[in-house]
Structure 1
Amino acid sequence: MKYTMLKNSELDVSVIGLGTNAVGGHNLFQNLNEQNGKELVRKALNIGVTFIDTADIYGFGRSEELIGEVLKDFKRDDFVIATKGGQHWFEDGSVKKDNRPEYLREAVEISLQRLQLDYVDLYYLHLPDNETPLTESIGELARLKQEGKIRAIGISNVSLKQLKEANVHSDISVLQSPYHMLDRSAEKELLPYCVENNISFIPYGPLAFGLLGGTFTKESRLDTQDWRQSIPLFNGEHFNQTLETVKKLNQIATQKDTTLPNLALAWLLAQEGVDSVIPGGKRKERILENSYASEIILSEEELDIINDILSNN
């Protein structure tokens, strides 16, 4: 495993991290096995994956609780934990975006309790509420950083304008945003801004939410409750076109003597500004397979061939 320092921080992380929305994320996926989720996290830590990414909204706190149960068996220096807040949920199951400083302070404290930690390494503002000025939200996170509750500040799901507002005092260390082979929109504005302003870019959905896992066919159908139903890549003719692109990428992976998922992860790590990737999964075997991507080096010629495939489809 290779490691890197996230920019504008003192966080040394594995370049292959672990996304955990399927660890206790019962509001996102059906029929999750919590024990399998805990084993996934434990396996990751045991093989040198030190960067664990979660959010308080995953399972309405359940993901953090399960991860906390695993983390207590490891030394605090053995992992870097990232979580997110800014979404307020209620007993009736409804959710409201809430970036108010007082709510974020409360959310951080409750996340620490669930995770059984004294501090969070990286805390993201998960989603802007489009009501609270981002300077106020990030300002409160900066105060929590001064108090030692969090070590670095991140933000996700924002436009370039919102990112600039949030980073007016250079408080942002990490941006997490959608980016993968099948969606390169981040390359237009967000990624260049991060490179220019010393911000680490962490792609979420690095395997296109499963499409770059290589297991989907034209007959594949998501569960009706699966949150990925809302992603255009999974629907209609777009889905069929995507599978054709995936087929060509799989051929490149075979020539490289690797897997399609690892090719996709290695491709992201080859992009300037991307310091780590956080693929998710439900099985502990997946994180072991993903870890091999840290050793894959793509030549300029290979990157050009991949770019041609992505540009022509």
Structure 2
Amino acid sequence: MEMRTLGASGLQVSAMGLGCMGMSEYYSGRDEQESLLTINRALELGITFFDTADQYGLGHNEELVGKALRPHRREITLATKFGFVRDAQGNLIEINGRPEYVKQACDNSLRRLGTDVIDLYYLHRVDPKTPIEETVGAMADLVKAGKVRAIGLSEASPSTIRRAHATHPIAALQSEYSLWSRDVEDEVLPTVRELGIAFIPYSPLGRGFLTGSIQRFEDLAPDDYRRTSPRFQGENFAKNLELVSRIREMAAEKNCTASQLALAWLLGQDKGMIPIPGTKRRSYLEENAGALTVSLTKSDYARIDEVSPKGAASGVRYPEGALALLDR
């Protein structure tokens, strides 16, 4: 397994991580035993970078991931996030980046994960009511206290990234990036590359759409949150199927799957790019890991830009309420 570095933190992680969110919430067909087997299979494949958050399953995901990884704690890098505050029914109350909450949230995550240190601690969304210097300052205190090794941001704008990085070195920025979500190429990617911050693409397979396995809206289970996503609706769905069809054709020419092509496109950009495709099944995990053996040439990249140029996806990436939470 190729290893990559999380910014200036010195933390070495596998070139591909595992996003664990779907094991606890948002997607249907959850099976805790299969989730545990998937995490164990990831370890067998050489994956050492695992991503969770305190809000996934209202804490359940941290408990699940902590339980699975406890015997391997010294060999892996554990990332979690804070900032979303939800009630017992899962409704969003607020985004909280206040210093006193930062420390409270960290202690709660440490307890659920069953560990004494979090390797990479992210602010899940920027709190517009709290200066980023105050939030990151509190996160820096956690580093000094030995509770956190490195800190990161998620979905932060270039100006916020710069202000945060001036307060304490930011090891990683996690934001959505894939063949159908390329907005970060304009300003965000140049900023993190300039500052030496690792970039962690989440939803690198377009919430599963880029796999080509979703052919009808009706295939989504009633409790699948993608039913609320604009890109999975009506005309957008049909147009996006055409995009995936073009990606599948190119993948076939490269003797790989559409998923592997989409992930290889990210992996080949630079050594600071560490995608975290999420899955709760071993079969998909193994397919995703196969992307590590797919090499793309300059002409392949040019062809991909023709097949899936920036802005090619139809529809915005989040419903209006979720878009409003992004730092832009």
Q: TM-score with structure 2 length normalisation?
A: 0.90
Evaluate the alpha carbon distance shift between residue 133 and residue 187 of structure 1 in structure 2; reply closer, same or farther with a 3 A threshold: same
2:277 counterpart SS class: coil
Which residue matches 1:86? 83
Alpha-carbon deviation of 1:80?
0.4
Alpha-carbon deviation of 1:223?
3.0
The gaps in structure 2 that reach 5 residues or longer are: 313-328
Which residue matches 2:4? 4
Which residue matches 1:289? 287
After TM superposition, list the pairs within 5 Å mapping 1:224-239 onto structure 2: 224-239=222-237
Task: Show CA shifts across 1:48-100 (max 9, x none).
Answer: 110000001000000010111111222x3311010000122333543321111
For 2:189 and 2:267, the matched residues in 1 are separated by 13
Kindly report the root-mean-square deviation, in angstroms, between the aligned alpha carbons of the 2 structures. 1.6
For 2:190 and 2:218, the matched residues in 1 are separated by 36
Aligned length: 310
After TM superposition, list the pairs within 5 Å mapping 1:213-292 onto structure 2: 213-218=211-216, 220-272=218-270, 274-292=272-290
1:61 counterpart SS class: helix
Which residue matches 2:170? 172
Higher mean alpha-carbon deviation, 187-196 vs 156-165, is at 156-165
Evaluate the alpha carbon distance shift between residue 294 and residue 121 of structure 1 in structure 2; reply closer, same or farther with a 3 A threshold: same
For 2:8 and 2:131, the matched residues in 1 are separated by 23
Identity %: 38
After TM superposition, list the pairs within 5 Å mapping 1:1-313 onto structure 2: 1-25=1-25, 28-74=26-72, 76-95=73-92, 96-218=94-216, 220-272=218-270, 274-311=272-309, 313=312
**Residue identity matched to 1:164:** R
1:8 counterpart SS class: helix
The gaps in structure 1 that reach 5 residues or longer are: none
**Residue identity matched to 1:85:** F
**Residue identity matched to 1:17:** G
Alpha-carbon deviation of 1:170?
4.6
Task: Show CA shifts across 1:276-307 (max 9, x none).
Answer: 11001121122122112112210001111111
**CA contact under 8 A between 2:151 and 2:171: conserved in structure 1?**
yes
Alpha-carbon deviation of 1:219?
5.4
Evaluate the alpha carbon distance shift between residue 115 and residue 304 of structure 1 in structure 2; reply closer, same or farther with a 3 A threshold: same
Evaluate the alpha carbon distance shift between residue 211 and residue 134 of structure 1 in structure 2; reply closer, same or farther with a 3 A threshold: same
Task: Show CA shifts across 1:249-293 (max 9, x none).
Answer: 111111111111011000011224642110011211221221121
